[in-house]
Structure 1
């Protein structure tokens, strides 16, 4: 009544054990696949004529939080969405051409994501 049907089970002769992904593994999941989470969020910002950048520290913080929640790679999206919830809804009304930089503090929730002010460099 439960489990895999014998016909399918007979086609799976190899047993594999899985181990928990480490922080570096989760960062690779965030950045390396063709359709990685980082690229998906950058594409979303690009559609709104904005630029999104994640610092290395932010990527590691996302991975650390997902590890603490014991959710593995499946939890990465929820960590990013939680940190960027407000800006994702406000972005369509923001001025085009702005750059947003995600830092560890934004992921931790101690700061909000605002456009990077390039006027300070001038």
Structure 2
């Protein structure tokens, strides 16, 4: 494929390459290309964009607010619990869910220590 090839809706097609010859990276969750998002974070063989991270944080925050009104950062959900929660909404993508679960857990730990 040629660099910059797009479908009729403006989205990059599978396997497109950038002008420098490198493969165009895409979010493993929403399939948006690195050109369509502000930030694309890579894990082992997976990528997640800033938009999907924000959506996941909103989903988790909403669930935590709904299940425990008196949520305290002393009771952090473990990465496994976060992964299991994400599995209720996302099919497959286990590597991405693991990476995100650890990132969210570490984020909450940083908040707790501040």
The structure in which a higher percent of residues are helix is: 1
Larger Rg: 1
Higher relative CO (Cα under 8 Å, sequence separation at least 6) belongs to: 1
